[in-house]
Amino acid sequence: MTFTRPLLAAASGLALMAGAAAAEPAIIFDLGGKFDKSFNEAAFNGATKWAEETGGTFKELEMTSEAQREQALRRLAESGANPVVMTGFAFGDVLNEVAPDFPDTRFAIIDAVVEQPNVKSIVFTEQEGSFLVGMMAGLASKTGTVGFVGGMDIPLIRRFGCGYAQGVKAANPEATVLLSMTGTTPAAWNDPVRGGELARAQKEQGADVIFAAAGATGMGVLQAAADEGILSIGVDSNQNYLHPGSVLTSMLKRVDVAVYNAFKEGTAMEPGVTVLDLAADGVGYAMDEYNASLVTPEMQAAVDDAAARIKSGELVVHDYMSDDSCPAAQF
């Protein structure tokens, strides 16, 4: 059964598929593709879950360039889609301009805060989930050196890397954390070849566990780690299954829950900021049959104890975005 009504990207721009009904919810995926096995795919899964449960349909759009952001957003709003959900901080400035032109349309943005009366901003405490997988990396590493490969070098991705480094150091204060970023443009989210190169370079420096927070670029990191016989850590979605016995765990960022809730709230969506933290199960780490042999009971107990202390407030993980600094690593 098909639940989506896609937007088609034509040479002249973006057009709604004929026959699309009004008042359907809609989602715009960020660059990297709907099936990136990471951030965008998690969003798609949330939309699909809503459609399966309700029998409803939704409109969707996959962009092919940065230049399409504003046009795509306006076309969806003009089509009657409501609410309109967009994945990624890069929509922030565009949404701030477009939202006032459609006061009766509800918008939701993931990973950015837009202060408009018809916008819900959904953000995550990525540093908390990254701390947990960092602890696991520190406990699993035999060399005492672990790595991090980010996508586009922005404060949000540094938040992942900083949380990860804090977790590594909590498990092994003497550990070395190697930090690499793929690039400084949106192309950094979709370059698995470069991701593989960065992973191999870190392996040559001694890293035997590498965390990828890089969208589709991370596929190259995970593949290179498997090829080189070292461990990797996935991100956003549960990526353990991609390389069974090689992916130590995945830092879960429940983008699927954010999209599902937004669609479920529909036109009654309340504006403001929603924070999905560890206590709200907005972030976490993945355990399943694909990584069970890699994680000892002692490792899992240590990580679960840290998670409980974070939830209670006893343990506070420093947020890089609070002051553009990291106590456990230098970018």
CB contact set of 26 (below 8 Å; sequence gap of 6+): 58, 59, 60, 61, 76, 79, 81, 82, 83, 84, 85
Distance, in Å, from the CA atom of 251 to the CA atom of 238, rounded to the nearest integer, reads: 7
- Phi/psi-derived region of residue 169, left when phi > 0, alpha when psi is between -120 and 50, beta in every other case: alpha
Contact at 8 Å (CB) between 18 and 215? no
Instruction: Show the domains of the chain with their CATH numbers.
Output: 4-124+256-276 (3.40.50.2300), 127-252+296-323 (3.40.50.2300)
Question: Starting from the edge strand earliest in sequence, which strands make up the sheet with 247-253, in order?
Answer: 176-183, 145-152, 209-213, 231-236, 247-253, 283-285
pLDDT at 31: 82
Residue-wise pLDDT tens digits, 270-320: 999 999 999 999 999 999 999 999 999 999 999 999 999 999 999 999 999
pLDDT at 8: 41
Name the token pair of 232: 């990797």
pLDDT at 65: 85
Distance, in Å, from the CA atom of 69 to the CA atom of 72, rounded to the nearest integer, reads: 5
Kindly calculate the radius of gyration of the chain based on its CA atoms and give it in whole angstroms.
Answer: 20
pLDDT at 4: 55
Distance, in Å, from the CA atom of 214 to the CA atom of 235, rounded to the nearest integer, reads: 8
One pLDDT digit (tens) per residue for the chain, 331 residues:
335 555 444 323 443 433 344 479 999 998 877 888 888 999 999 999 999 999 999 999 988 888 889 999 999 999 999 999 999 899 999 999 999 999 999 999 999 999 999 999 999 999 999 999 999 999 999 999 999 999 999 999 999 999 999 999 999 999 999 999 999 998 999 999 999 999 999 999 999 999 999 999 999 999 999 999 999 999 999 999 999 999 999 999 999 999 999 999 999 999 999 999 999 999 999 999 999 999 999 999 999 999 999 999 999 999 999 999 999 999 9
Pairing relation of β-strands 247-253 and 283-285?
antiparallel
